[in-house]
Amino acid sequence: MNIETVGAVQILLGVLGRFWPVWLALVITLGLSFFYRKRLGLYGQLFSSGVGIAGVTICFFWLFTAIFAPEIATFDPLAQNAVLKNALPGAIVPESYGGGIYFFGGDNLSRDVFSRMIFGSQIVLIIAPAATAFALMVGTTLGLPAGYYGGKIDSILSFLANLVLAFPVILLFYLLVTPAIVEMGLPRWMAGVFFLFPIAFFLTLFWTRFKNRPDRLWLYLGLTLVIGGWAYMSLVFNADPFGILSLSPNELNIFAAVVFASSPGVFRIVRGLVMDIKTRDYVAAAQTRGESPWYIMLWEVLPNARGPLIVDACLRVGYTTILLGTLGYFGLGLAPESPDWGTAIKDASRLLRSYVHPAIPPAVALMSFVLGLNLLADALREQSMKD
């Protein structure tokens, strides 16, 4: 069956038109941000440089793309139209199959490349920042006492961190998500340990701050235990009674692998920052007041280390995105039918085409998102140096 196609101009205009919710959201968000930039602290300062504006714009573009994915995509990312297998860009779907246009063509399983790229942004923008946040929480919780106390605590934690860092990252990920390791249940138990760190962190945070104000203390501790316990049972054991939070086994494996591989790097950064900051006068003043070590670490040292940590978080989300793409390309990431960008690139690599290869859209999407994060990190670094 011969499939008709539209021209390059129609493809370009059609794709730009599909992104209308993103353009509208960008105009409103960036316009308000620029107008009120003097009131927005560090975020507002990003609009004082071209690099910052570019980084914010690219990151917001993919954020809004993920949010409005159902409105932007033209087809279900898993739907297959047999007549459009390996279809060229701009292929027109016959009316008997529902009509529409495969703007970027079809893959080897007759799925719309454009729609899969769009829905792939949802997966990346959920997993990469969330996994990075957990890695930051674990690394920070361990790095604070290592840098503050030093001695045996520092030696033991530093040795463990260096042990993990000694492994090549890709090999480490490969080992953690291989079927044999997964069947042993190791990633789930690792996730069970790692996901306790945010609960312990916030319990300690509120205890050190409000221990002399029981009215607020018990409220915050109760909320932390209830919300944290609910999230813990939902994410680790998939036992959410409300059906709101859940992680598939593949997603849980990736979470555990990312946190395990990224936490040592965060640990070393936090440890170094704490070793420097703990010599400052305001830390000595807090010690003179009789504040507890954990109060000093959480409320005196950590806030003054936020600049480098924010920059590292942006870069680390980019690294995690690349790792997710690499795992997907090697078939070690999410489910085989997943529209994540790495899997899409892997599926497209099996198809030979003389022009407009179907691997280009997801590859460009991954590259642009990481570029935006790197530009954002550069702008944040410049602002932190000014401060």
Tens of pLDDT along 58-71?
999 999 999 999 99
**102 DSSP 8-state letter:** E
Residue 98: predicted pLDDT: 75
**Contacting residues for 298 by C-beta, under 8 A, at least 6 apart:** 144, 204, 205, 208, 209
- Counting residues of the chain whose pLDDT is more than 70, the rounded percentage is 97
CA torsion through residues 45, 51, 55, 58, sign: positive
- Fill in the DSSP letter of residue 5: B
- Give CA torsion, residues 284, 287, 291, 294, to 10 deg: 70
Tokens (6 digits) for 48? 């004082």
- Separation in Å, CA 137 to CA 292, 325, 353: 21, 23, 45
What value does the mean pLDDT take over residues 353-364? 74
- State the pLDDT at residue 81: 81
CA distance 198 to 141: 9
Q: Is the pLDDT of residue 110 over 80?
A: yes
The reported pLDDT for the residue numbered 230 is 92
> Residue 83: its pLDDT value, please?
79
Looking at the structure, tell me whether residues 376 and 254 fall in a common domain. Answer: no
Instruction: Flag whether 331 is in a domain.
Output: no
Q: Are residues 51 and 131 in the same domain?
A: no
Claim to verify: residue 258 and residue 136 sit in the same structural domain: yes
DSSP 106: B
Cβ(309)–Cβ(317) below 8 Å? no
Q: Note whether 95 and 160 are same-domain residues.
A: no
* Confidence bin at 351 (pLDDT 50/70/90): low
Q: Which residue has the tokens 């919710």?
A: 21
202-211, 277-286, 290-299, 348-357, range with the lowest pLDDT: 348-357
Number of separate domains in the chain: 2
Q: Measured in Å, how far apart are the chain's first and last C-alpha atoms?
A: 65
Please give the pLDDT value at position 334.
Answer: 75
Tell me, yes or no, whether 356 lies in a domain. yes
* Predicted model pTM: 0.88
Residue 217 has pLDDT above 90, yes or no: yes
Give tens-digit pLDDT for 113-126.
Answer: 899 999 999 988 88
350 pLDDT above the threshold of 70: no
Is residue 169 pLDDT above 80, yes or no? no
Q: Are 64 and 56 within 8 A, CB to CB?
A: no
Measured distance CA(146)–CA(269) in Å, rounded: 11
* pLDDT score of 354 more than 50: no
Ranking 30-34, 187-191, 383-387 by mean pLDDT, the lowest is: 383-387
Integer Cα distance of 163 and 346 in angstroms:
31
Q: Whole-angstrom Cα distance, residue 240 to residue 227?
A: 11
Q: What is the pLDDT of residue 333?
A: 67
Whether 339 maps to a domain, the answer reads: no
- Residue 105: left (phi > 0), alpha (psi -120 to 50), or beta? left
Statement: residue 353 has pLDDT above 70: no
Q: Using one digit for the tens of pLDDT, what is the confidence trace for 68-86?
A: 999 999 988 888 887 788 7
Q: 59 lies in a domain?
A: yes
130 shares its domain with 85: no
pLDDT reported for residue 174: 76
CA proximity to 104, closest of 70, 75, 61? 75
Output the average pLDDT for the chain. 87
Average of per-residue pLDDT across 224-243 = 88
249: tokens are 């086994």
Q: Are residues 196 and 174 in the same domain?
A: yes
Alpha-carbon distance 225 to 227, whole Å? 6
**What's the pLDDT score for residue 373?**
92
Q: Is residue 323 included in any domain, yes or no?
A: no
Shared-domain flag, residues 104 and 208: no
The percent of the chain in helix, strand and coil, each rounded to the nearest 5, is: 75, 0, 25
* Domain that includes residue 87, residue range: 8-121+350-386
The residue out of 303, 318, 333 marking a domain boundary is 318
Same domain, 250 and 104: no
In the predicted structure, residue 1 carries a pLDDT above the cut 80: no
Pair 89, 138 in one domain: no
pLDDT of 181 higher than 90: no
Pairwise pLDDT comparison (252 vs 348), residue with the higher score = 252
Q: What is the pLDDT of residues 266-324, one digit of tens each?
A: 999 999 999 999 999 989 999 999 899 999 999 999 998 888 898 889 888 988 888 88
Contact by Cβ (8 Å): 323, 258? yes
The answer on 314 and 209 residing in a single domain is yes
